Structure 1
Amino acid sequence: MASQNHQRLLKSARSWANWSDSAFSLFGIRFGWDFIIGLIPGLGDVISVLISMRLLIVARALGAPLRLQLRILVNLLLDFFVGLVPIIGDVLDVFFRANQMNLRLLEKWYNTNRIAQSKM
């Protein structure tokens, strides 16, 4: 039962990361709502980081270790502070896809953890 719930959480996280970081393409450059929302000076970056906390919440729900949760938080904060820099921060935000990065970290941990548990 927990495994099905975990799979639903991961599927939702995948969808979220795609929506947030790479849902659109313009001239071959992928970007998502995180970039678009971040264009609102100051407030956009605050909204974006608050919304991006969703992956941290998923990590906690899956029982991810504190170290992984902190790494996810650091990535979110880096994305936030880079995004605060006018123009340059917005451009860098297209290439620093914190949500995609955090999703990969979470899936790697989850899959490794699941494999290790199945061997017991």
Structure 2
Amino acid sequence: MPDDQRPRPMGFVVPMGGDPQSVRQRVEALEMLLERSFRIPGINYPVGLDAVVGLVPVLGDVVTTVMGAYLVWEARNLNMPRWKLWRMGANVALDTALGLVPVVGDAADFLFRSNTMNLKIIKRHLDKHHPAARMIDG
């Protein structure tokens, strides 16, 4: 197995290439980590690091904003149109603004999933402009 394809500690592969297929796998892995890492027992609702780390005042919001901005940076590297990048940036900015409001922001992190929305924008772009990067979701 090539060094850049070896399994990581969390059990999924994070490719390091700049090709659309590698970018797709990276952004899907990051979105999964930020939005759907585990489920809340009893109600079976998926949450991720965005909601958990967001509970830490200020620092948690800074960390999750940087991680969300990484998705926008990956989209920029795919030469996505500026209007899509602005839309993705607005999703991250709104998530950050909501997260800064005490208590309300913590609840909003469970409901407003900017990273999932941004992943959908990237996937639609890749499906249209790089059909070879398509994967069967399973």
Tell me the equivalent position of 2:65: 49
If the length of structure 1 is used for normalisation, what is the TM-score? 0.88
Tell me the equivalent position of 2:12: none
- Cα RMSD, aligned residues only: 1.6
Tell me the equivalent position of 1:87: 103
Map 1:69-88; keep pairs closer than 5 Å: 69-88=85-104
Same amino acid, percent of matched pairs? 29
Cα distance between partner residues in 1 of 2:46 and 2:106: 13
Off by >3 Å, runs of 4+ in structure 1:
none
Q: When the two structures are aligned, how many residues end up with a matched partner? A: 113
Per chain length, whose mean CA-contact separation is higher, i.e. which structure has more relative contact order (CA < 8 Å, sep 6+)? 1
Shift of 1:46: 1.3
Map 1:13-28; keep pairs closer than 5 Å: 13-26=27-40, 27-28=43-44
Shift of 1:113: 2.4
Cα distance between partner residues in 2 of 1:13 and 1:66: 18
Shift of 1:85: 1.1
Q: Structure 1 stretches of 5 or more lacking a match?
A: 116-120
More helix by share: 1
